[in-house]
Amino acid sequence: MKCIIDNDVVLARQLEGPLSAHIAGFARWAREEGYAVLPRHRKVRLAACFSRWLGQKAISLRRVCSEHPARFLRSRARQVKIQQADAATLRQLLGFLRHQGVVPAEKIPPPRLTPAEQAVHEFERYLRKERMLAERSVDSYVPFVRKFLADRFGDGSVRLSRLCAGDVVRFVRRQAPRLHLKRAKLLTTALRSFLHYAHFRGEITSDLAAAVPIVANWSRPSIPRAISADAVRRLLASVNRRTATGRRDYAILLLLARLGLRAGEVVRLKLEDIDWNAGSITVHGKGGRRSVLPLPPDVGSAIAAYLRHGRPRSSSRCVFLRTLAPFRGFLGSWSIAMLVRRNLARAGIQAPTQGAHQFRHALATEMLQHGASLAEIGDVLRHHGLETTKIYTAVDLDSLRALALPWSGGVR
């Protein structure tokens, strides 16, 4: 006898097992998340099979835990081919049941940390909560500090009061030669941050940050690699704005090109960050800093077109969503980089890089060429200090050589 669930999902047999009363709710959840009929049917059918298996094993609803899906799939693999998405579907099912309160949340004991790992954990929490550093910065600092403490204290007790300048210098001298210049500089920055933190907490009496060696850089600063203005125009013109994906990509590319937003800032944009009446947009930048920028008419029109005719229905407050269910915001900055790379490849444009930051460089370069001051460029790009903006004053000697006039006196 067939079983109709949520109007458009029909199963070949009646529901059985402890999850029977919740399968319809799971089907509604899948529909609200934007899954099409076929994948939704697969999810519901798998949930029904899982419920039947639980009943056969006499596993009650309150005893269901995260180990049961794996056991079920191993058993199921003897009869049918396991699909790639099956494990993810069962994780979604357990998450749904826990959210409904019918399956208890598992109490996972925290891992046992060594004293060094505990110290790193506290430093990481300080960076996130007190300093409000971006995730990328925290993820860059922590491994260096972990290595430093493990190198000095091993698995034993961490007594920062025993640190001395020699420990710091020796560590940097051993590690820096193995690293690329930028990584070596990041190593010293991370160590200084940690030692400032330890001094602030009173765990070391003198500020050992001053003992961190400076990594020499004798080369001139690299010139920011910016996409050309013509390439930006061709890229924007190539986007197919008749599709939902095209409307989304066009709006994102405009934000990168017109406002110089970082990829992470695009990801973090929320619906409430756009003030349509005031014609402004609030950008959540590095270190938790917020900036209110004017919203250019063409950018506003592109975002509005996406919101009206491209953005799928979702409970997410993110402005830009994935095009595949579940409809949620992008997972990280790399998603925007992939979007840029895909659009550049489709348009056949050979850009200096494949990432999103080249648009930011292009905006700064164009402003500089039109006579904008470094302070004005820094304000638009929301730089923390003028030193960051000065990189755009670097002279591209190779480009200048192509423009140089021949020497009138001939070759000597």
Residues 333 and 288 in one domain: yes
Residues 267 and 202 in one domain: no
- Using the 3D structure, point to which of 211, 244, 269 is the last residue of a domain: 211
* Mean pLDDT computed over every residue of the chain: 86
pLDDT one-digit tens code per residue, 388-403: 666 666 645 555 555 5
The CATH number of residue 203's host domain is 1.10.150.130
Q: Show the tokens assigned to 160.
A: 């920062």
- Active site residues per annotation: 262, 286, 357, 360, 383, 392
Please report which confidence band the pLDDT of residue 222 belongs to, taking 50, 70 and 90 as the band edges: low
The pLDDT assigned to 37 comes to: 84
Residues 394 and 323 in one domain: yes
The pLDDT assigned to 395 comes to: 47
Q: Which residues contact 166 (CB under 8 A, 6 or more apart)?
A: none
- Distance between CA atoms of 285 and 137, rounded to whole angstroms? 13
Residues 334 and 242 in one domain: yes
Give the range among 14-18, 301-305, 317-321 with minimum mean pLDDT.
Answer: 14-18
Q: The pTM is what? A: 0.67
Residues 149 and 185 in one domain: yes
- Using the 3D structure, point to which of 73, 100, 127 is the last residue of a domain: 100
Residues 244 and 339 in one domain: yes
Residues 191 and 266 in one domain: no
In this prediction, residues 153-181 reach a mean pLDDT of 90
- Using the 3D structure, point to which of 57, 77, 100 is the last residue of a domain: 100
Determine, yes or no, domain membership for 221: no
Determine, yes or no, domain membership for 216: no
Determine, yes or no, domain membership for 223: no
Determine, yes or no, domain membership for 109: no
Determine, yes or no, domain membership for 105: no
Determine, yes or no, domain membership for 219: no
**Cα distances (Å, whole numbers) of residue 350 to 139, 231, 235, 320, 374:** 31, 8, 11, 26, 29
- Distance between CA atoms of 323 and 159, rounded to whole angstroms? 51
The CATH number of residue 358's host domain is 1.10.443.10
pLDDT one-digit tens code per residue, 311-343: 998 889 999 999 988 899 998 888 999 999 999
Residues 58 and 134 in one domain: no
Q: What is the number of domains present in the chain?
A: 3
In this prediction, residues 150-156 reach a mean pLDDT of 90
Helix and strand numbers, DSSP H then E, in the chain? 17, 5
Q: Which domain holds residue 325?
A: 229-398
